[in-house]
Amino acid sequence: MTVSEAIRRRRSIRRYQAGIVIPREEICQMLEAAMMAPSACNTRPWEFIVVEDKARREELAKVHPYCSFAPAASLVIVVCGLPERQEATGGWEFWPQDCGAAIENLLLEAYALGYGTCWCGVYPNPERVRALQELLGITSTPLAAVAVGAPAESPAARGFFDERKVRFL
Protein backbone atom coordinates (compact mmCIF):
# COMPACT_ATOMS: atom_id res chain seq x y z
CA MET A 1 0.00 0.00 0.00
CA THR A 2 1.64 3.23 -1.08
CA VAL A 3 1.40 6.26 1.12
CA SER A 4 -0.54 8.16 -1.55
CA GLU A 5 -3.09 5.36 -1.84
CA ALA A 6 -3.55 5.09 1.92
CA ILE A 7 -4.01 8.84 2.31
CA ARG A 8 -6.55 9.01 -0.52
CA ARG A 9 -8.53 5.82 0.08
CA ARG A 10 -8.91 5.70 3.84
CA ARG A 11 -12.37 6.47 5.20
CA SER A 12 -13.80 6.60 8.70
CA ILE A 13 -15.39 3.25 9.56
CA ARG A 14 -18.34 3.04 11.94
CA ARG A 15 -19.41 -0.58 11.39
CA TYR A 16 -17.14 -3.42 12.43
CA GLN A 17 -17.01 -7.20 12.08
CA ALA A 18 -17.71 -8.91 15.40
CA GLY A 19 -15.23 -11.14 17.20
CA ILE A 20 -12.03 -9.99 15.51
CA VAL A 21 -9.01 -9.97 17.82
CA ILE A 22 -6.11 -7.79 16.70
CA PRO A 23 -2.75 -9.38 17.52
CA ARG A 24 -0.63 -7.46 20.01
CA GLU A 25 2.14 -7.18 17.42
CA GLU A 26 -0.12 -5.29 15.02
CA ILE A 27 -1.36 -3.00 17.77
CA CYS A 28 2.25 -2.13 18.54
CA GLN A 29 2.92 -1.48 14.84
CA MET A 30 0.11 1.07 14.85
CA LEU A 31 1.39 2.68 18.03
CA GLU A 32 4.93 2.75 16.67
CA ALA A 33 3.65 4.58 13.59
CA ALA A 34 1.91 7.09 15.85
CA MET A 35 5.11 7.62 17.85
CA MET A 36 7.11 8.27 14.68
CA ALA A 37 5.22 11.52 14.08
CA PRO A 38 7.22 14.70 14.43
CA SER A 39 6.49 16.84 17.50
CA ALA A 40 7.46 20.31 18.69
CA CYS A 41 11.09 20.13 19.90
CA ASN A 42 10.76 16.33 19.67
CA THR A 43 8.87 16.37 22.98
CA ARG A 44 6.65 13.39 22.04
CA PRO A 45 3.80 14.76 24.18
CA TRP A 46 1.54 11.71 24.03
CA GLU A 47 0.56 8.42 25.58
CA PHE A 48 -1.80 5.69 24.43
CA ILE A 49 -4.41 3.73 26.33
CA VAL A 50 -5.40 0.62 24.41
CA VAL A 51 -8.89 -0.38 25.54
CA GLU A 52 -9.40 -4.02 24.68
CA ASP A 53 -11.75 -4.68 27.61
CA LYS A 54 -15.27 -4.71 26.22
CA ALA A 55 -16.98 -3.51 29.40
CA ARG A 56 -14.89 -0.34 29.31
CA ARG A 57 -15.68 0.15 25.65
CA GLU A 58 -19.35 -0.12 26.50
CA GLU A 59 -18.89 2.55 29.14
CA LEU A 60 -17.00 4.68 26.64
CA ALA A 61 -19.93 4.49 24.23
CA LYS A 62 -22.18 5.78 27.03
CA VAL A 63 -20.05 8.83 27.86
CA HIS A 64 -19.06 9.84 24.31
CA PRO A 65 -21.98 10.90 22.09
CA TYR A 66 -20.35 9.85 18.80
CA CYS A 67 -18.65 6.60 19.76
CA SER A 68 -21.58 4.17 19.83
CA PHE A 69 -19.58 1.66 17.77
CA ALA A 70 -16.80 1.38 20.38
CA PRO A 71 -18.06 -2.00 21.68
CA ALA A 72 -18.36 -3.44 18.15
CA ALA A 73 -14.79 -2.49 17.22
CA SER A 74 -11.93 -4.76 18.22
CA LEU A 75 -10.45 -2.10 20.49
CA VAL A 76 -10.26 1.62 21.08
CA ILE A 77 -6.98 3.49 21.34
CA VAL A 78 -7.34 6.62 23.46
CA VAL A 79 -4.64 9.09 22.45
CA CYS A 80 -3.75 11.37 25.35
CA GLY A 81 -1.69 14.55 25.47
CA LEU A 82 1.01 15.37 27.99
CA PRO A 83 1.07 19.18 28.00
CA GLU A 84 3.70 19.26 30.75
CA ARG A 85 6.16 17.67 28.32
CA GLN A 86 6.23 20.85 26.26
CA GLU A 87 8.27 23.11 28.51
CA ALA A 88 10.98 22.97 25.83
CA THR A 89 8.67 24.79 23.43
CA GLY A 90 8.63 27.87 25.67
CA GLY A 91 5.42 26.66 27.24
CA TRP A 92 3.37 26.98 24.04
CA GLU A 93 0.89 24.16 23.72
CA PHE A 94 1.68 22.54 20.42
CA TRP A 95 0.57 19.16 21.76
CA PRO A 96 -2.92 19.00 20.19
CA GLN A 97 -1.47 19.42 16.69
CA ASP A 98 1.39 17.02 17.52
CA CYS A 99 -1.16 14.44 18.66
CA GLY A 100 -3.17 15.09 15.48
CA ALA A 101 -0.13 14.10 13.42
CA ALA A 102 0.41 11.00 15.55
CA ILE A 103 -3.23 9.98 15.12
CA GLU A 104 -3.04 10.39 11.33
CA ASN A 105 -0.03 8.03 11.27
CA LEU A 106 -1.98 5.56 13.40
CA LEU A 107 -4.97 5.70 11.03
CA LEU A 108 -2.79 5.20 7.95
CA GLU A 109 -0.83 2.32 9.45
CA ALA A 110 -4.05 0.63 10.55
CA TYR A 111 -5.44 1.03 7.04
CA ALA A 112 -2.32 -0.52 5.54
CA LEU A 113 -2.79 -3.47 7.93
CA GLY A 114 -6.36 -3.90 6.69
CA TYR A 115 -8.19 -2.35 9.63
CA GLY A 116 -10.78 0.36 9.72
CA THR A 117 -10.65 3.24 12.16
CA CYS A 118 -12.77 6.13 13.36
CA TRP A 119 -11.30 9.18 15.10
CA CYS A 120 -13.71 10.45 17.77
CA GLY A 121 -12.83 13.86 19.16
CA VAL A 122 -12.49 14.34 22.92
CA TYR A 123 -10.30 17.36 23.86
CA PRO A 124 -11.07 20.27 24.07
CA ASN A 125 -14.60 19.26 25.13
CA PRO A 126 -14.22 19.34 28.95
CA GLU A 127 -17.08 16.92 29.66
CA ARG A 128 -15.61 14.26 27.41
CA VAL A 129 -12.13 14.84 28.83
CA ARG A 130 -13.32 14.37 32.40
CA ALA A 131 -15.47 11.35 31.55
CA LEU A 132 -12.58 9.54 29.86
CA GLN A 133 -10.12 10.44 32.59
CA GLU A 134 -12.47 8.85 35.12
CA LEU A 135 -13.23 5.83 33.00
CA LEU A 136 -9.57 5.10 32.27
CA GLY A 137 -8.06 6.27 35.55
CA ILE A 138 -5.62 8.67 33.92
CA THR A 139 -4.35 12.19 34.62
CA SER A 140 -3.15 12.94 31.08
CA THR A 141 -5.51 14.72 28.69
CA PRO A 142 -7.51 12.40 26.39
CA LEU A 143 -7.53 14.06 22.97
CA ALA A 144 -9.26 11.40 20.90
CA ALA A 145 -10.72 7.91 21.05
CA VAL A 146 -9.77 5.93 17.95
CA ALA A 147 -11.86 2.84 17.25
CA VAL A 148 -9.98 0.08 15.41
CA GLY A 149 -11.36 -3.11 13.90
CA ALA A 150 -12.14 -5.10 10.78
CA PRO A 151 -14.48 -3.01 8.62
CA ALA A 152 -18.05 -4.19 8.01
CA GLU A 153 -18.66 -1.40 5.49
CA SER A 154 -16.61 -0.09 2.59
CA PRO A 155 -17.49 3.53 1.88
CA ALA A 156 -16.06 4.90 -1.35
CA ALA A 157 -13.12 7.26 -1.16
CA ARG A 158 -14.06 10.88 -0.72
CA GLY A 159 -12.33 14.17 -0.17
CA PHE A 160 -10.92 16.31 -2.93
CA PHE A 161 -8.46 19.01 -3.87
CA ASP A 162 -10.27 22.30 -3.31
CA GLU A 163 -8.48 25.05 -5.15
CA ARG A 164 -10.41 27.71 -3.22
CA LYS A 165 -8.38 26.73 -0.18
CA VAL A 166 -5.04 27.50 -1.83
CA ARG A 167 -3.25 30.75 -2.56
CA PHE A 168 0.15 31.06 -4.23
CA LEU A 169 2.44 33.94 -3.28
Q: Footprint of a second copy on this chain (CB under 8 A)?
A: 1-8, 10, 12, 28-29, 31-33, 35-38, 40, 44, 46-53, 56, 89-90, 92-94, 96-101, 103-105, 107-109, 111-112, 119, 121, 123-125, 136, 143-144, 159-162, 165-169
Least distance (Å) between residue 112 CB and a second copy: 5
CB closer to a second copy out of 72 and 99: 99
Q: How far apart are CA 122 and CA 15, in angstroms?
A: 20
Least distance (Å) between residue 152 CB and a second copy: 19
CB closer to a second copy out of 60 and 72: 60
Q: How far apart are CA 57 and CA 68, in angstroms?
A: 9
Least distance (Å) between residue 150 CB and a second copy: 18
Q: How far apart are CA 48 and CA 28, in angstroms?
A: 11
Least distance (Å) between residue 19 CB and a second copy: 19
How far is the first Cα of the chain from the last one, in angstroms, to the nearest whole number? 34
Q: What is the DSSP string of 91-118?
A: T---HHHHHHHHHHHHHHHHHHTT-EEE
Please compute, for residue 27, the number of CA atoms within 13 A of its CA located in the half-sphere on the CB side: 19
Which of 154, 67, 47 is closest to 118 using CA atoms?
67
Least distance (Å) between residue 44 CB and a second copy: 7
CB closer to a second copy out of 17 and 52: 52
Q: Are strands 75-81 and 116-121 parallel, antiparallel or unpaired?
A: unpaired
| 86 secondary structure, DSSP code | G
